């Protein structure tokens, strides 16, 4: 899921209609505006740019896992399924963001990213963990539930 504006537009799993979800409610279960079916929390990594990153982190009521990556990076490609699994396993309890470090060098510099993949956990606007290198989904999930 790539996001570039506020709010996030998500398709209803029941009727496929588009729903606008405010950033503060990405981890919440909502209701489809058309059919009233449950609209589950975001369960996939969200690709963000710097302005959207700042907006999501500022409004998040749950921990945020950030994956700094690049398309050319082999270890980043190996980490991707683990990042996706973490997003699925922590849906409703955390938000997972993906930041392309090549496309967002200022954001990478803000977090002193010198090697990728690089993972940052932010809770209540503060960095609580940062680690470079490949890790599995079990490790990422433990960071978010500590």
Structure tokens at 46: 């969200």
12, 15, 35, 73: the catalytic one is 73
DSSP secondary-structure letter at 28?
S
Q: What are the residues facing 68 on neighbouring strands?
A: 99, 118
Active site annotation includes 73? yes
12, 15, 32, 76: the catalytic one is 76
Query: Which of 24, 41, 122 is CA-nearest to residue 89?
Result: 41
d(CA 4, CA 1): 10
d(CA 145, CA 26): 17
**Within 1-146, where are the H helices?**
50-59, 74-89, 105-110, 137-145
Positions marked catalytic: 73, 76
């Amino acid at each position: 899921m790539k996001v570039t504006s506020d709010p996030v537009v998500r398709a209803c799993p029941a009727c496929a209609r588009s729903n606008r979800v405010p950033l503060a409610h990405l981890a919440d279960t909502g209701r489809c505006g058309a059919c009233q079916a449950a609209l589950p929390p975001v369960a996939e990594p969200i690709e963000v740019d710097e302005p959207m990153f700042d907006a999501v982190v500022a409004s998040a009521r749950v921990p945020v896992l950030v994956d700094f990556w690049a398309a050319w990076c082999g270890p980043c490609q190996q980490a991707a399924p683990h990042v996706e699994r973490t997003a699925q396993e922590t849906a409703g309890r955390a938000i997972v963001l993906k930041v392309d470090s090549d496309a967002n060098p200022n954001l990478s510099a803000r977090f002193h990213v010198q090697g990728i993949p690089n993972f940052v956990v932010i809770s209540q606007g503060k960095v609580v963990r940062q680690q470079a290198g490949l890790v599995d989904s079990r490790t990422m999930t433990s960071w978010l539930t500590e």
